[in-house]
Amino acid sequence: MQLAQRAAGISPSPTLAIDAQAKAMKAKGVKVINFSAGEPDFGTPEHIKQAAIDALAAGFTRYTPVAGIPELRQAICASLAARGVTYEPADIVVSCGAKHSLYNAMQVLLNAGDEVILSAPYWVSYYEQVKLAGGVPVVVTTGPDTGFKLTPGLLEAAITPRTRLLILNSPCNPTGAVYSREELAALAEVIVARDLIVISDEIYAALLYDGLTHTSIASLAPEVKERTILIDGVSKTYAMTGWRIGYAAAPRPVAKAMTDLQSHSTSNPISIAQKAAVAALTGSQEAVEMMRREFEQRRNRILAGLRELPGIECNQPGGAFYVFPYIGKLFGRKFRGRVLGNSTDVATALLNEFQVAVVPGVAFGAEPYLRLSYATSMDQIEAGLERLRAFVTELE
Ligand SMILES: Cc1ncc(COP(=O)(O)O)c(C=O)c1O
């Protein structure tokens, strides 16, 4: 059967594919070290699970308002207020994960041929979602020289009369880059002057290290907020990836359009997951801080371990739970008779020969890098580093 052009052009998520392969190997009894997962290895905190159990017991099992229950949208507004940005519940649309929020936003904002600026390395789904909405991804490559961050100069140079949207992601998946308030203000000047819309993906806002603090670009000025779609959710902050609750905070007409769109696809996100999200946002934040501290220690360990490996260099990520080492010096060298030519060669050799799952940089529009998630135990990190050392020392 012939598929629509829309479907034929979709590339499956390479991160989910590698994660699935690693999990399949594990299920067969292979001792895989999995650095590919984009999710916390912690369980959802007990009080959040209990809220879902209570909701279920109380029979909270029917359709809810499409954009989410008022209680949750109110809790989201309160959580965003702590970030210095004021929204009302009518500006909030709760969806089935932040990925869904991003999808809805692009569907209601983009016309065919509209250009969307993506700063590479970028999170894989942005690229595909832009295409699915008929947009044209315009990739601006950044590197370690700017800390993998977009600068006003790079942004200006990418703008054309067709540019409609910029996607920002701070803290960033895959690089862990965190934009400072000043850096965002400099970008915001261009955004306002050139009349762009910005999707600000802040899903990792709570996972910051080295005393860094999060700034939402929407908090900088009213004229920035009125052109920002702020995206966040509970997946990463509260170890709730499977619950599928994400949200957008947007100018009212955009929120309304996203709600109308959602009313014809998923309708409301899962009722009991919404109750759990209320407990997450309004309850104790102790578990969040515990997980953040643990991630910071793991980041320190994996970063130090990678920097000791010959031929590997690594920027210090300030947030999220990924490291993004530079592996250019490994290219051209031989592993068991085969020349390593790109990040996929390296990732394939690591998975097949050393049972270490990593994601090749090319999946994020960036060579020559790998992404390693440190949302795994310290023991696994130690074992993985040992295997990586065995790999690089074997190269000819
Ligand atoms: C940058 C970024 N945005 C959004 C998401 C989607 O999160 P959710 O699980 O809430 O759909 C992810 C998940 O990997 C992510 O890394």
- The dihedral through the CA atoms of 66, 220, 172, 134 has a sign that is positive
Long-range CB pairs of 255-258, under 8 A, 24+ apart, other chains included = 255/67, 255/90, 255/91, 255/92, 255/93, 257/108, 258/67, 258/93, 258/95, 258/101, 258/104, 258/105, 258/108
Average confidence (pLDDT) over 24-46: 92
Q: Is the CB of 169 within 6 Å of ligand 1?
A: yes
pLDDT at position 161 = 98
Q: In the chain, what percentage of residues exceed pLDDT 90?
A: 91
Q: What are the pLDDT digits (tens) for 112-125? A: 999 999 999 999 89
pLDDT at position 173 = 97
Q: Is the CB of 126 within 6 Å of ligand 1?
A: no
Query: Is residue 199 predicted with pLDDT exceeding 80?
Result: yes
Q: Which atom of ligand 1 is nearest to the CA of 102?
A: 4
- The dihedral through the CA atoms of 287, 291, 292, 294 has a sign that is positive
Ligand 1 pocket test: pick from 235, 241, 270, 364 the residue with the most ligand atoms within 8 Å of its Cβ. Answer: 235
Q: What are the pLDDT digits (tens) for 309-358? A: 999 999 999 999 999 999 999 999 999 999 999 999 999 999 999 999 99
pLDDT at position 9 = 82
Q: Is the CB of 122 within 6 Å of ligand 1?
A: no
Q: Report residue 10's pLDDT band, with 50, 70 and 90 as the boundaries.
A: confident
Whole-prediction pTM? 0.96
**Sheet of strand 136-141, all strands in order from the earlier edge strand to the far edge:** 92-95, 246-249, 228-233, 197-201, 163-169, 115-120, 136-141
As a whole number, the mean pLDDT across the chain is 96
Q: Is the CB of 201 within 6 Å of ligand 1?
A: yes
CA of 123 to the centre of ligand 1 (A): 8
pLDDT at position 136 = 98
Q: What are the pLDDT digits (tens) for 363-372? A: 999 999 999 9
Q: What are the pLDDT digits (tens) for 265-288? A: 999 999 999 999 999 999 999 999
CA of 140 to the centre of ligand 1 (A): 21
Ligand 1 pocket test: pick from 95, 124, 202, 203 the residue with the most ligand atoms within 8 Å of its Cβ. Answer: 203
Long-range CB pairs of 302-307, under 8 A, 24+ apart, other chains included = 302/372, 302/374, 302/381, 302/385, 305/381, 305/382, 305/385, 305/388, 306/372, 306/385, 306/388
List the residue whose alpha carbon is closest to atom 16 of ligand 1.
173
CA of 98 to the centre of ligand 1 (A): 6
pLDDT at position 26 = 87
Nearest to 224 by CA among 247, 245, 199: 199
**Start-to-end Cα distance in the chain:** 48
Query: Is residue 141 predicted with pLDDT exceeding 90?
Result: yes
Q: What are the pLDDT digits (tens) for 253-264? A: 999 999 999 999
Q: Report residue 376's pLDDT band, with 50, 70 and 90 as the boundaries.
A: very high
